[in-house]
Amino acid sequence: MDTSITELINNQKTYFNAGKTRDINNRKAALKKLKAVIEKREKNICDALFADFKKCEFESLLTETQYIITELDNTIKKINSWARTRSVSASLVNFPSSAKIIKEPYGTVLIIAPWNYPFQLALSPLIGAIAAGNTAVVKPSELTPNTATIIDEIISEVFPKNHVAVVQGGKEVSEQLLEQQWNYIFFTGSPKVGKIVYQAAAKHITPVTLELGGKNPCIVDETADINQAAKRVVWGKFLNGGQTCIAPDYLLVAENIKQKLIVALKDEIVNAYTNTPKDSPDFPRIVNKDHFNRLKNLLNGQSVLFGGETVESELFIAPTLIDEPSLKSEVMKDEIFGPILPILSYKNENEIEPIISRFEKPLSLYVFSKRKHFANRIMNENSYGGGTINDTVVHFINKKLPFGGVGNSGIGAYHGQLTFDVFSHKKAVVRRGTWLDVPLKYAPYAGKLKYVKMLSKLF
């Protein structure tokens, strides 16, 4: 056990127990300072993301820094209201009484982040953790070391270590962190590591949020606006080089429009990234050699309709469409998490459900259709984290919607006020009046049986 980790956590617990994080104005001031430093370092953050996987400036601003700045603005504006103790109506059976819900911070929390949106996914939960009054340790991904370093520098500039600290490192460091007793663990990453985190948390009955991934279906029926669907699929799939947890993983397309859709998808890929996407300033790289090789191997034996180019020295994989892969092939086993889009077709709508249900519950689901009834049926009858009709990915943006998975794609949800609530324990408190004490509920019960139903109605 690394003693410096134990010492860090003990120091954070002491800081928390001394009540240093309780004052809402202090929390707000800390969030404002965090915002100012992020704004000051925004260019450095974008440069780090570019150095890590050639993420372009537009996507870095849209999906990382500006996303976080907006989240900070919203939290700073609403923190007083989110933190407020709320009165609820009292149960008549408790008469005379009042009842309220008090939000309290859990204490010292651990946030483990993945590499694919390395800045956003480390900072977004952290904002909620700080706003709710916790101390926090953040472990960014080791696969994006430049971004991890910037996160470390920013956090060190804003917070004393006993309030918020960054611990850098890979699997071993993560394991050491997980041996500690935390008051909450917020993990974003793969279902495989999510299970390890859940087991570690179970040792201390530590509550968790697990933001995981899955194989996200995207259905396109014969009534869809094909050109628009192609544009929106290409954007959501190839954003971040296809390394997005809510990207469509595979298409399920009505057979009679499949060829038209393929033509439109090819056009849209060229529109977005030109005929030579390797030279496009907007198309990122695969994060490392292991993932590059994993993705390259998925192409083995597949019928490539478009793209398929791979350049190992640059960790480049072109936006690629593949035709009708066998459901038993490697590409149809696990989440792809890269710029490869399998296209499956169906003749009859009855074929859709058995394909979706071959996989664990996905993080998201998409359907393109002008038939409201059909789209609603798909959205209502399947189980998935969240989804969009006639677009991809955009449900993520709405702060009023919970973001999270279900089953194998995760436990819990956050964004907006929910992020604050995730990091707050809700205490239920009843204050009883002392001037009256109705004797009905007390033993001896002889002669009171006939009142028990009436009493229960007053709960």
Q: Please tell me whether residue 190 binds ligand NAD under the rule CB under 6 A.
A: yes
Residue nearer to ligand NAD on the CB measure, 30 or 196: 196
Query: Are 287 and 143 spatial neighbours (Cβ–Cβ below 8 Å)?
Result: yes
Residue nearer to ligand NAD on the CB measure, 38 or 143: 143
In the complex, which residue's CB is closest to ligand NAD?
213
- Considering only residues 41 through 70, tell me which ones interact with ligand NAD, judged by CB under 6 A: none
Q: Please tell me whether residue 421 binds ligand NAD under the rule CB under 6 A.
A: no
Q: Please tell me whether residue 137 binds ligand NAD under the rule CB under 6 A.
A: no
From 46, 59, 64, 245, the catalytic residue:
245
Selected range binding ligand NAD among 183-191, 250-258, 273-281, 325-333, rule: CB under 6 A: 183-191
Three-state DSSP class for 51? helix
Q: Please tell me whether residue 293 binds ligand NAD under the rule CB under 6 A.
A: no
- What strands, in cross-sheet order, belong to the sheet with 303-306? 303-306, 320-323, 340-346, 250-254, 217-220, 364-368, 386-389
Which one of residues 2, 142, 152, 421 is an interface residue with ligand NAD (CB under 6 A)?
A: 142
Q: Please tell me whether residue 315 binds ligand NAD under the rule CB under 6 A.
A: no
Q: Please tell me whether residue 365 binds ligand NAD under the rule CB under 6 A.
A: no
Q: Please tell me whether residue 113 binds ligand NAD under the rule CB under 6 A.
A: yes
Break the chain down into helix, strand, coil percent, rounded to 5.
45, 20, 35
Q: In terms of C-beta density within 10 A (0-12 exposed, 13-18 middle, 19 or more buried), how is residue 362 classed?
A: buried
Contacts of residue 358, Cβ cutoff 8 Å, sequence gap at least 6: 327
From 42, 59, 71, 211, the catalytic residue:
211
Q: How far is CA 343 from CA 167, 218, 300, in A?
A: 41, 10, 16
Q: Please tell me whether residue 193 binds ligand NAD under the rule CB under 6 A.
A: yes
Query: Are 343 and 319 spatial neighbours (Cβ–Cβ below 8 Å)?
Result: no
Residue nearer to ligand NAD on the CB measure, 216 or 382: 216
* Smallest distance from ligand NAD to CB 355, Å: 20
Q: Please tell me whether residue 336 binds ligand NAD under the rule CB under 6 A.
A: no
Q: Sign of the CA dihedral 288, 294, 297, 299? A: negative
Selected range binding ligand NAD among 101-109, 110-118, 275-283, 424-432, rule: CB under 6 A: 110-118
Angle at 219 (CA atoms; ends 213, 222), nearest 5 degrees: 170
Residue nearer to ligand NAD on the CB measure, 17 or 181: 181
Query: Are 301 and 130 spatial neighbours (Cβ–Cβ below 8 Å)?
Result: no
Give the β-pairing of 208-211 and 184-188. Answer: parallel
DSSP 318: -
Q: Please tell me whether residue 7 binds ligand NAD under the rule CB under 6 A.
A: no
Q: Is 211 known to be catalytic? A: yes
Sort residue 393 into left (φ over 0), alpha (ψ -120 to 50) or beta. Answer: left
> What distance in Å separates the CA atoms of residue 65 and residue 43, rounded to the nearest whole number?
9
Selected range binding ligand NAD among 187-195, 386-394, 422-430, 451-459, rule: CB under 6 A: 187-195
The token pair at 44 is: 């450095």
> What distance in Å separates the CA atoms of residue 272 and residue 268, rounded to the nearest whole number?
6
Selected range binding ligand NAD among 11-19, 184-192, 270-278, 423-431, rule: CB under 6 A: 184-192
Selected range binding ligand NAD among 102-110, 155-163, 172-180, 277-285, rule: CB under 6 A: 172-180
Selected range binding ligand NAD among 62-70, 112-120, 310-318, 436-444, rule: CB under 6 A: 112-120
Q: Please tell me whether residue 419 binds ligand NAD under the rule CB under 6 A.
A: no
* Smallest distance from ligand NAD to CB 210, Å: 8
The token pair at 193 is: 């590591």
Nearest to 367 by CA among 375, 358, 355: 375
Q: Please tell me whether residue 213 binds ligand NAD under the rule CB under 6 A.
A: yes
Give the β-pairing of 410-411 and 208-211. Answer: antiparallel
Q: Please tell me whether residue 144 binds ligand NAD under the rule CB under 6 A.
A: no
Q: Is 245 known to be catalytic? A: yes
Q: How many CA atoms lie within 13 A of 272 on its CB side?
A: 23
Nearest to 197 by CA among 214, 216, 177: 177
Selected range binding ligand NAD among 36-44, 134-142, 295-303, 314-322, rule: CB under 6 A: 134-142
* Smallest distance from ligand NAD to CB 409, Å: 7
Nearest to 265 by CA among 187, 200, 319: 319
Q: What are phi and psi of 104, to 5 degrees?
A: -125, 145
- Considering only residues 428 through 447, tell me which ones interact with ligand NAD, judged by CB under 6 A: none
* Smallest distance from ligand NAD to CB 287, Å: 8
Three-state DSSP class for 22? coil
The residue count for binding ligand NAD (CB under 6 A) is: 28
- Considering only residues 227 through 286, tell me which ones interact with ligand NAD, judged by CB under 6 A: 245
Residues acting as catalytic residues: 211, 245
Chain residues that interact with ligand NAD, rule: CB under 6 A: 112-116, 121, 139, 141-142, 170-171, 174-175, 178, 188-190, 193, 196, 211-213, 245, 335, 337, 363, 405, 410
